[in-house]
Amino acid sequence: MVTAAVCAVILAAGEGQRLRPLTTHLPKALCPVGNVPLLDRALARVSASGVAAVAVNASYLAGQVVAHVGARAHLSVEPDGPLGTSGGVAELRDWIDGRGVLVGNADAYLSDPSRPPGKDIAALLDGWSGSSVRMLVRPLPDGESGGFSNHRFAGFSLLPWSRVRDLVPSPAGLVRDVWRPAEAAGELELIPFEGTYLDTGTPPLYLAANLHAAGHRNLIAPSASVSGTCTSAVIGADATVHGTVTRSVVLPGATVGAAEVLTDAIRVGTLTIPAALLS
């Protein structure tokens, strides 16, 4: 049970440079995974966790994010470029107004079959008194070291007001401004996440998240037109597939011609990010 007032901030301001050309005309937060925009997944997860007050920040292609969110959340627009994870939270200090804040990255893909969305981040909130910093984590792969006690951040953290009130709304990250200082002070709690976590920030991880969300089966949007062959494929809204698509993602509105064979790739419009770039 949470004993402190908590709001939530979903960070959706980033440019998604590592995910280009997917993000040339579409904010990373609105890129679909399993035919659901990443931002919608994050908002649904936070809502199901029981946190009612939610804010979303936006900067890159902010108009699209603002229009997509509408009245579902408080909006914070950073017109001069993204302020980073720390600066983005600082920009919302007046709105946070003394509460603890559950901070989630819009590009975080989380899946835990044993716990439905919302319940899977509930451990961050359970029993929190409002004084420590909590971080959802996964163990680092064998052979890797570093991170936070050999764990990596898994998309969501919980910050007390005492760590938020002095943040500065200028470009900076939570690693430097909050997480490492809390770790040094013995005030960082690592909360294990037992499911699958992917940050979707690169084409290989974005593809992996889509295939995972589809259960490595076909997931075809109702408005898509498919006359070709699909195997373990995610086909977006209004996409057209006449060719062969295997272990690939076809983004909304994209086209795969009758003579084309798409394998381990992402199709954006008529552009293919091939398997060689995904390895």
pLDDT of residue 277: 60
pLDDT of residue 18: 85
Say if residue 1's pLDDT is above 50: no
pLDDT of residue 3: 46
Say if residue 4's pLDDT is above 70: no
pLDDT of residue 278: 56
Cα separation of 251 and 135, whole Å? Answer: 32
Top CATH class, 6-198: alpha beta
For 244, other C-beta atoms within 10 Å of its C-beta total 18
pLDDT of residue 118: 86
Cα separation of 245 and 275, whole Å? Answer: 13
pLDDT of residue 113: 86
Q: Could you tell me how many helices (H) and strands (E) the chain has, helices first?
A: 9, 22
- pLDDT tens profile 171-190: 999 999 999 999 999 999 99
252-261 mean pLDDT: 96
The region of weakest confidence among 56-60, 111-115, 168-172 is: 111-115
Cα separation of 207 and 200, whole Å? Answer: 8
- pLDDT tens profile 95-135: 999 999 999 999 999 999 888 888 889 999 999 989 999 99
Cα separation of 40 and 145, whole Å? Answer: 33
245-266 mean pLDDT: 96
pLDDT of residue 275: 60
pLDDT of residue 276: 60
Tokens of 113: 């079959």
Say if residue 248's pLDDT is above 60: yes
Question: Where are the chain's structural domains?
Answer: 6-198, 214-277
Maximum average pLDDT range among 143-147, 191-195, 241-245: 241-245
The DSSP H or E segment spanning 207 is helix 203-213
Cα separation of 247 and 4, whole Å? Answer: 45
pLDDT of residue 114: 86
Lateral strand order in the sheet of 54-58: 74-77, 54-58, 6-11, 100-105, 151-159, 133-139, 188-192
pLDDT of residue 153: 96
Cα separation of 129 and 230, whole Å? Answer: 50
In this prediction the pTM is: 0.93
The DSSP H or E segment spanning 211 is helix 203-213
Say if residue 239's pLDDT is above 90: yes
Nearest to 179 by CA among 142, 132, 128, 232: 132
Tell me the pLDDT of the chain averaged across its residues.
Answer: 93
User: What angle do helix axes 38-49 and 62-69 make, rounded to 10 degrees?
Assistant: 40
Whether residue 21 has a cis bond before it, omega within 30° of 0: yes
Choice between 276 and 171, residue whose per-residue pLDDT is larger? 171
pLDDT of residue 145: 77
- pLDDT tens profile 12-42: 999 888 888 888 889 999 999 999 999 999 9
The DSSP H or E segment spanning 69 is helix 62-69
pLDDT of residue 20: 84
